[in-house]
Amino acid sequence: MSNAVIQLGPDRIRELMAHYAGSKIERNAPGVVFAAKSGGVSITAYKSGKVLFQGGGAETEASRWGGNSSTSAKKPSAPKGEKLPSGLARMSVLGSDETGTGDFFGPVTVAACYVPAEKIALAEELGVKDSKMLTDAHMLKIGPEIKETFENSVLVLPNEKYNNVQAKGWSQGKIKALLHNQALKHVLRKLDGTKPDLILIDQFAERGIYYRHIASEPEIIRENVLFSTKAENLHVSVACASILARVAFLEEMDRLSEKAGVPLPKGAGKPVDEAAARILLKKGDDFLASITKRHFANTRKAAALASKRSGRS
């Protein structure tokens, strides 16, 4: 079993706890403030700020949170053909990324964006960088400029459809792989024969697993495709895609908040349970299902809260 340990500040610890709240497990051990198990990876956060990731995808999962890290297992060598070329940052690249997978409310959104070498400086001038380093307000501001400047595709998977395919046994990995492939396909069609030097996907699954997820698709993008974690730091195209995906998610959250009549909190923590319980009491279970990821533990927690409140009324 591979392990990865990172050191996070209090704010990032709270974000991590909210993100994995739907997968929370009980772990009564000295110094433990939070524990969860997600996608085969066990996550344990300690009072010291250290977070331990254990399991086959430990290093990949830990890398999503940054921080100072160390590993107890030697970092595996990149799969054949996965070595990133030198000078990647200045190449013409089609990048893709996603967001919304850890949020109870709102959709999964995936974006792909092509940034040719001659426009890299322009993207940097717009202030494009890893979306984790930008505020939502700033992304909402520069998102339209990115969409206007670069060829892109943004896909929003409505909660109703997400719940439908998830109930059929589709994992989040399969859902994301299908959306990434579709977004990349859309941009390549818009490029009308122009070929990127590379296609770079922000890695959420190993290459073999990714392609098994989409094996039945009639058109699969394979040529010059590379996978890497923290890809938004490797090329500005992935950073652009990350921002576009986040903006689409934020816009949909605003729309759903208006529909629900209450602001919808992000993540999957206690504020989400509270909001979901209020919505459940006000608008019913079918409505709540239409704006959430039904399989999250928040569904059960909200129902319990709503039951207690209705019992007191």
Find, among 82, 83, 52, the residue nearest to 70 by Cα.
Answer: 52
Beta bridge partners of 4: 53, 71
For residue 136, say whether it is annotated as part of any ligand binding site: no
Q: Which two tokens stand for residue 19?
A: 């993100």
Q: Give the DSSP H/E element, type plus range, for residue 135.
A: none
Residue whose structure tokens are 């059960």:
300
- Do 185 and 94 touch, CB atoms closer than 8 A? no
DSSP-derived secondary structure letter, 284: -
- Do 162 and 293 touch, CB atoms closer than 8 A? yes
Please state, in angstroms and rounded to a whole number, the distance separating the CA atoms of residues 271 and 279.
Answer: 12
Q: Give the DSSP H/E element, type plus range, for residue 52.
A: strand 50-54
- Do 306 and 275 touch, CB atoms closer than 8 A? no
For residue 202, say whether it is annotated as part of any ligand binding site: yes
Q: Which two tokens stand for residue 196?
A: 């990127």
Beta bridge partners of 69: 6
Please state, in angstroms and rounded to a whole number, the distance separating the CA atoms of residues 46 and 43.
Answer: 10
Residue whose structure tokens are 């999962």:
61
**Which segments are annotated as binding site for a divalent metal cation?**
97-98, 202
**Which segments are annotated as binding site?**
97-98, 202
